[in-house]
Amino acid sequence: MFTPVSCAHRSKPRDGSTVLIISLMICFLLTVAMVARTEAETREIRSGTTASALGIGFSSAKESDEKMDLQKADQPQSHAAFPATISAASSPQGNVRVVRPNHRSANLLPVVDQEDILLKHRVLADQVLRALPSQCRDNLHQFFVTYEKDPKSRGLGGASTIIVTGTVPDNEFMALIVHECGHVTDLGGMRGSLDGGTTAFVDGHTPMFGNDPSVPFYLLSWTDALTTKRGTAAKDFVSGYAQSDPYEDFAESFAFFALHKHQFKTIARRSSVLQAKYDFLDRIVFADTPVIAEGKSTGKSIPWDVTKLPYEWHAKQ
């Protein structure tokens, strides 16, 4: 390919002015042809890139719209729809605009506002976390919802993590979060320190120190993480599952107090130990927290699992 510089070099006069004029004309024509070709190639590259970018953009927008439509089907009518964001896509004309739904909302807690969680479940989780004492949401760093058809576990909770299944009815989904928040509050929010000395309670490899606020609760029914105190009876627990270990005892009692406070107060009359657990939750964990639900269970028998009991949610959104 010729360039203007090379043409100028080749046009030095050898046989007079006529040759010079012809050479200059040839260089001019070659230069025009070269520029035209370069511009054509440039437009072709830009057009291809823009078409690709727009293709991806529209595809993503379509997929996002489908996902948002699925979520809106489950979305409570009282919750405002997420706003859409408008972004300009590059094009030769510079006037193509692609609308993409915004899946995140400033109205929801960031820890639950994840795009792989159905909008309905984000809203419900947000309601639960805002209604419960702040120790759960202040220490919760990871929140996951699984959608397996037959999950091995409906819920898991630790010092800073909650995993729950989304394949259960809404009330049960919320109750599972309440139970797991009991674990976060217990293991993440109510922690002791090394200078408090060790105790007989260990969660896996994590020791519970003597100045841990939860230890007095454990000692009401347990001598260590696996052994109940002598004389302990089923009536000292809110559920069968609470008898598994001191940490499930805490989480089940936490959930029963949050969702069935009136029933808890009633059955606590049967046992001084259960009354002490009610008082502990009332004074130390739920102090100044408004009632968030009304239980519908009769309380005549001890349930196996608090999260399966019927209740009506009262906390404001």
pLDDT for res 105: 62
Structure letter (DSSP) for residue 228: B
Q: Give the C-alpha separation, 225 to 223, whole Å.
A: 7
Instruction: Supply the pLDDT for residue 136.
Output: 97
pLDDT score at 314: 87
Residues 6+ apart with CB under 8 A from 173: 121, 124, 164, 165, 166
Q: Specify the amino acid at residue 126.
A: D
Q: Which of 66, 67, 105, 111 is nearest to 85 (CA)?
A: 105
Burial of 157 (0-12, 13-18, 19+ CB in 10 A): buried
CB 242 within 8 A of CB 182: no
pTM of the model: 0.68
- Asked whether the beta carbons of 207 and 198 are under 8 A apart, the reply is yes
Q: What is the pLDDT of residue 87?
A: 33
β-pairing verdict for 155-157 and 142-146: unpaired
Kindly report the three-state secondary structure assignment for every residue of 280-291: HHHHHHCCCCCC
Is residue 73 classed as helix, strand or coil in its secondary structure? helix
Q: Tell me the angle at which helices 246-259 and 170-183 cross, rounded to the nearest 10 degrees.
A: 130
Q: Give the pairing of strands 293-295 and 311-313.
A: antiparallel
Residue type at 62 in one-letter notation = K
Does an H or E element contain 209, and which? Answer: strand 206-209
**CA–CA distances in Å: residue 88 to residues 47, 50, 63, 83, 308:** 16, 12, 18, 17, 49
Q: How many helices (H) and strands (E) does the chain have?
A: 9, 9
The pLDDT value given to residue 150: 87
Query: Mind listing the pLDDT tens digit of every residue in the chain (317 residues)?
Result: 433 443 443 334 445 566 566 666 776 666 655 645 544 443 332 333 333 332 323 223 333 333 333 333 333 333 333 333 333 333 444 454 444 444 566 699 999 999 999 999 999 999 999 999 999 999 999 999 999 988 889 999 999 999 999 999 999 999 999 999 999 999 999 999 999 999 999 998 899 999 999 999 999 999 999 999 999 999 999 999 999 999 999 999 999 999 999 999 999 999 999 999 999 999 999 998 999 999 987 667 788 999 999 999 988 75
The DSSP H or E segment spanning 293 is strand 293-295
* φ and ψ at residue 205, rounded to 5 degrees: -110, 5
Three-state DSSP class for residue 145: strand
pLDDT of residue 46: 30
Q: Would you state the pLDDT for residue 32?
A: 54
pLDDT at 123: 96
